[in-house]
Amino acid sequence: MIEDDAGRLVGRTLVSAASLRERVGVLGAQIAESYSDLTQPPLLISVLKGSTFFLADLMRAMSIDLNLDFMSISSYGSPGIVRILKDLETDVSGRDLLIVEDIVDTGLTLNYLRKTLRQRDPASLRTVTLLDKAARRIVPVEVEYKGFEIPDVFVVGYGLDFQGRYRNCPAILAVRDIARLANDPLVLVDQLYGKAR
């Protein structure tokens, strides 16, 4: 439980650091096994920035030869309208691609990514997401590997942010009082990091 100075509940741990370690280890081994017969290394595609913590741990749990590239995309503000801020440096034609996401929420981002990458003629295309918030889905989208299904709560930590903060929290926290956090974006800082502001 994470409370503010007045004792009001602001958030709680949804997935502990230990659970993350364990699940990501299992997922990494499972995915590595499914790619072990390939003649060329799969290409992991990380979607900046939230997926980077998951990516780093997942890759180290995959004991196979692999390659890595990054994309950065941004929403135009309208649902499903997305633009590429940073594209891949790799020619993905004929490659086995694994999109690495931290969270699938409405599915709009992943839907766009999958469509875009399919047009580049990869040999295969799969997705792994650490978190699946299926209750929020607007478009159905294929997700081959999932770490955790989570309820419709706002989450921060292990790469996920609120206004750029809290990515470095080692656990995933569910924010109970989002209005309180919006009012005071630093409200979790003292509780998490124990520093005076």
Name the nearest CA neighbour of 28 among 128, 144, 169: 128
Of residues 156 through 175, those in contact with ligand PRP by CB under 6 A are: 161
Task: List the catalytic residue out of 57, 96, 102, 105.
Answer: 105
> With respect to ligand PRP, which residue has the nearer C-beta, 23 or 165?
165
**Which one of the spans 5-13, 17-25, 42-50, 185-193 is the region binding ligand PRP (CB under 6 A)?**
42-50
| Residue 115 token pair | 């469509």
As measured in angstroms, the least distance from the Cβ of 65 to ligand PRP is 26
Catalytic: 105? Answer: yes
Binding mask 51-80 for ligand PRP (x = CB under 6 A): x-----------------------------
The total of other beta-carbon atoms located within 10 Å of residue 127's CB is 22
**Which one of the spans 8-16, 19-27, 101-109, 168-176 is the region binding ligand PRP (CB under 6 A)?**
101-109
**What residues have CB less than 8 Å from 185, skipping those under 6 apart?**
162, 163, 165
Tell me the C-alpha distance between 185 and 159, whole Å.
17
Site of tokens 């081959």: 144
Q: Is residue 116 part of the contact set for ligand PRP (CB under 6 A)?
A: no
> With respect to ligand PRP, which residue has the nearer C-beta, 64 or 136?
136
Burial degree of 79 (CB within 10 A; 0-12, 13-18, 19+):
exposed
Q: How far is CA 81 from CA 27, 111, 135, in A?
A: 31, 11, 21
As measured in angstroms, the least distance from the Cβ of 39 to ligand PRP is 30
Number of residues that bind ligand PRP (CB under 6 A): 16
| Interface residue list for ligand PRP (CB under 6 A) | 47-51, 101-110, 161
Instruction: Give the active site residues.
Output: 105
